[in-house]
C-alpha cells in the first residue's frame, strides 16, 4: 500500500502541493503553517507534488513507478509488431 | 541482445518522431492538430474493437477496452479510480450521462513526451481520447469523451463521460 510523508522541518508552507494535487490529498495546517497529508487513499502516485515541492519534502513509498518504455524488455518485445 | 537493443532504439526513435511531429503541428494547426489526432485515435479504437463484445455495462466495457489494448500489444495501463469521499466508481450527471475516473500509469505517449521535453496534454494525448471514443462507440453504441483532469509525471487522471 502506498505511503506518503512530508518532512515537517523541510516544509515551508508554500501550499504548492495543495494546488497541484488532483485528488486533494493534502490540507494546510493553520497552526503549524505547514502542509499535512489528509487522505493518502486518494493518492494516484502522479508524483506532481514531489516534483513541485521546492523543499523536496514529500516522499512516496510502495507505488508503481513508471519506467521509460524502451527500458522495459517485456514491453519492447510486445511492441515488436509496430516496428 | 543486440537484436533487442536495435528494436528498442528503433522504438525510441519512432516515438521521438511522433512526439516531435505532434509538437510541430500544434503551433501551425492550432486546435486542428487535436482534431487530427482525435480522429486518428477514434479510427484506431473502432478498428481494434470491431469484434469486441457489445455491452451496456460501463465497467464491463472498460474491461473490454483493456483486453483490446492487450490483444493489440499496446501498453496503456489504466484502472478505474474512486475518491474516498465517493460511494461508487460510476457517477451520473444531472443530464443522465455516466462518469468514471480513470488513472493511467504506464503510457507510451507520456514517456515519449517527457523523455524529449515536450508538454503533456497536447495533441498526442488527445489521441487516447479518440481511442476511447472509438472503442466505446463500438462496444456501447454511445458517444464518449475522455477529459484530462491532471497530467502528472508518473500517472494521469482522466474523466470518462459516456453520453446518455
Ligand atoms: S509544496 Fe512542499 S514546502 Fe510547499 S507546502 Fe507542500 S510540502 Fe510544504
Ligand atoms: S502524488 Fe499526485 S495524487 Fe498523490 S498526493 Fe501527490 S499530487 Fe496528489
The radius of gyration computed from the CA coordinates of chain A, to the nearest angstrom, equals 16
Atom of ligand 2 nearest to the CA of A44: 3
Is any Cβ of chain B less than 8 angstroms from the Cβ of A74?
no
Cα distance between residue B98 and residue A9, in whole Å? 44
Cα distance between residue B43 and residue B48, in whole Å? 9
Determine the pLDDT at residue A71: 59
Q: Half-sphere exposure (CA, 13 Å, Cβ side) for B142? A: 18
- 3-state SS assignment for residue A2: coil
Cα distance between residue B23 and residue B120, in whole Å? 10
Top mean-pLDDT range of A24-33, A64-73, B44-53:
A24-33
Q: What ipTM goes with this model? A: 0.84
Among A35, A48, A52, which is best to mutate for testing ligand 1, by the most ligand atoms less than 8 A from CB? Answer: A35
Q: Looking at chain B from residue 19 to 48, which residues have their Cβ under 8 Å from any Cβ of chain A?
A: none
Residue-range definition of the domain harbouring residue A54 = 3-82
Which ligand approaches the C-alpha of residue A56 most closely?
1
| Nearest residue to A75 via CA among B142, B39, B12 | B12
Cα distance between residue A28 and residue B11, in whole Å? 44
Q: Mean pLDDT throughout A41-48?
A: 97
Cα distance between residue A32 and residue A25, in whole Å? 18
Place of cell 512530508: A6
pLDDT, tens digit (0-9, with 9 covering 90-100), for B84-124? 999 999 999 999 999 999 999 988 788 878 877 788 988 88
| Nearest residue to A57 via CA among A2, A9, A3 | A9
Determine the pLDDT at residue B1: 58
Query: Which domains are seen in chain B, by residue range?
Result: 2-162 (3.30.1380.20)
Q: Confidence band (pLDDT; 50, 70, 90) for A43?
A: very high
Is any Cβ of chain B less than 8 angstroms from the Cβ of A69?
yes
What pTM does this model have? 0.86
Q: What is the 3-state secondary structure (H, E, C) of A7-46?
A: CCCCCCCCCHHHHHCCCCCEEEECCCCEEEECCHHHCCCC
A65 vs A21: which has the higher pLDDT: A21
pLDDT, tens digit (0-9, with 9 covering 90-100), for B34-79? 888 888 889 989 998 998 899 999 999 999 999 888 787 676 789 9
Q: Mean pLDDT throughout B139-149?
A: 94
Q: Residue of the nearest CA to atom 7 in ligand 1?
A: A11
CB–CB contact B10 A73 (8 Å) = no
Q: Which of B73, B83, B155 is opposite residue A42, by nearest beta carbon?
A: B83
Amino acid at each position: 500500500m502506498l505511503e506518503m510523508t512530508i518532512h515537517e522541518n523541510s516544509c515551508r508552507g508554500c501550499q504548492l502541493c495543495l494546488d497541484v494535487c488532483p485528488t486533494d490529498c493534502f490540507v494546510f495546517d493553520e497552526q503549524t503553517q505547514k502542509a499535512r497529508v489528509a487522505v493518502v487513499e486518494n493518492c494516484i502516485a502522479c508524483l506532481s507534488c514531489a516534483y513541485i515541492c521546492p523543499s523536496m519534502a514529500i516522499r512516496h513509498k510502495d507505488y508503481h513507478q513508471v519506467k521509460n518504455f524502451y527500458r522495459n524488455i517485456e514491453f519492447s518485445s510486445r511492441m515488436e509488431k509496430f516496428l | 541482445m543486440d537484436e533487442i537493443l536495435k528494436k528498442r532504439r528503433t522504438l525510441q526513435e519512432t516515438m521521438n518522431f511522433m512526439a516531435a511531429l505532434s509538437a510541430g503541428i500544434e503551433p501551425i494547426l492550432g486546435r486542428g492538430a487535436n482534431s487530427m489526432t482525435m480522429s486518428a485515435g477514434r479510427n484506431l479504437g473502432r478498428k481494434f474493437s470491431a469484434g469486441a463484445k457489445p455491452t451496456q455495462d460501463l465497467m464491463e466495457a472498460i474491461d473490454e477496452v483493456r483486453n483490446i489494448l492487450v490483444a493489440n500489444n499496446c501498453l496503456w495501463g489504466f484502472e478505474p479510480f474512486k475518491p474516498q469521499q465517493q460511494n461508487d466508481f460510476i457517477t451520473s450527471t444531472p443530464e443522465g450521462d455516466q462518469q468514471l475516473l480513470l488513472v493511467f500509469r504506464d503510457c507510451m505517449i507520456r514517456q515519449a513526451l517527457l523523455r524529449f521535453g515536450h508538454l503533456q496534454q497536447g495533441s498526442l494525448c488527445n489521441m487516447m481520447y479518440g481511442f476511447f471514443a472509438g472503442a466505446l462507440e463500438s462496444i456501447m453504441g454511445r458517444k464518449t469523451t475522455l477529459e484530462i483532469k491532471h497530467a502528472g509525471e508518473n500517472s494521469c487522471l482522466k474523466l470518462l463521460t459516456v453520453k446518455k
